[in-house]
Amino acid sequence: MKIAISGKGGVGKTTLAGTLARVIAATEHKVLAIDADPDANLGSALGFHLDEVEKVTPIAEMTDLIQERTGSQKGSYGGTFKLNPKVDDIPERFSLTRENLKLLVLGTIPEGGGGCYCPEGVILKFLLRHILLQRDESIILDMEAGLEHLGRGSTKGIDAFIVVVEPGSRSLKTARQIKKLATDLGINQVYVVGNKISEASDIEFINDNLDGIKILGFLDYDQEIVTADRHDQAPFEVNQKLVENVKTIYENLKKELVTN
């Protein structure tokens, strides 16, 4: 299963991505978790130690590798370079690995690089495309709200796109925009997970504002999850209720994909 997770900043994308990756890894499936948010913090949400995570260089910052693979010169915007760089060894070489869980940190495409052909953008796009189309483990992609890293070529590999929302207008507005972007990229399986639920009216509010996007389930607001973040701990390790709810969401998603 290859799942991309997006949503407004702070809604709980990384919390869901980290927990879902751990839930799938616990069933003995290999999981490759990809941190594609410029504000990268998936590592600690997966339960990797902070000192390990801090040593990771995001792929976008591996200047020598990018130059070697694309044939580009440093800072050469608009210069000539290969548009089909070799990337297939990158996940094995540069992932943090623990048992059947791997973490790959992509990093940030330089300003204005999302749409343009800068070497970093080409590498990241190619790498994602390779991972989504060629690798056979489960993939969890923790993304930002914009879908810059995804090109038309890579979206075929995505089985499901989950947009995380909280019970507030802004995150639901973002969800509707993401749904549109995803649809434009040819992704049809777009779902919502409602996070930070404190009371019944939160669920009602989300249900009333989905604009036809299907909901996979809800996650309760819990102070333990905040505390886990403060201590750079995986929410999977501290909050059993969250784990149970994420399992249910994963089961619901599998049912959805079978019937669609």
Residues 186-205 vs ligand ADP: string with x where CB under 6 A? ---------xx---------
Residue 98 — φ and ψ, nearest 5°?
A: -145, 120
By CB under 6 A, residue 15 contacts ligand ADP: yes
Q: Which is nearer to ligand ADP, 2 or 13 (by Cβ)?
A: 13
Which of residues 3, 7, 175, 243 is near ligand ADP by CB under 6 A? 7
- Nearest residue to Mg ion, scored by beta-carbon proximity: 14
Q: How many residues bind ligand ADP (CB under 6 A)?
A: 16
Residues with Cβ < 8 Å from 2, sequence gap 6 or more?
132, 138, 139, 141, 157, 158, 159, 160
DSSP code at position 62: -
Closest by alpha carbon to 219, among 1, 5, 2?
Answer: 5
| Minimum separation from the CB atom of position 107 to Mg ion (A) | 14
Residue with the two structure tokens 């999981």: 31
| Minimum separation from the CB atom of position 94 to ligand ADP (A) | 22
12 binds, among ligand ADP, Mg ion, none (CB under 5 to 8 A by kind): ligand ADP
| Minimum separation from the CB atom of position 5 to ligand ADP (A) | 8
d(CA 101, CA 123): 23
Could you tell me if 105 and 143 are in contact, meaning their C-beta atoms sit under 8 angstroms apart?
A: no
By CB under 6 A, residue 116 contacts ligand ADP: no
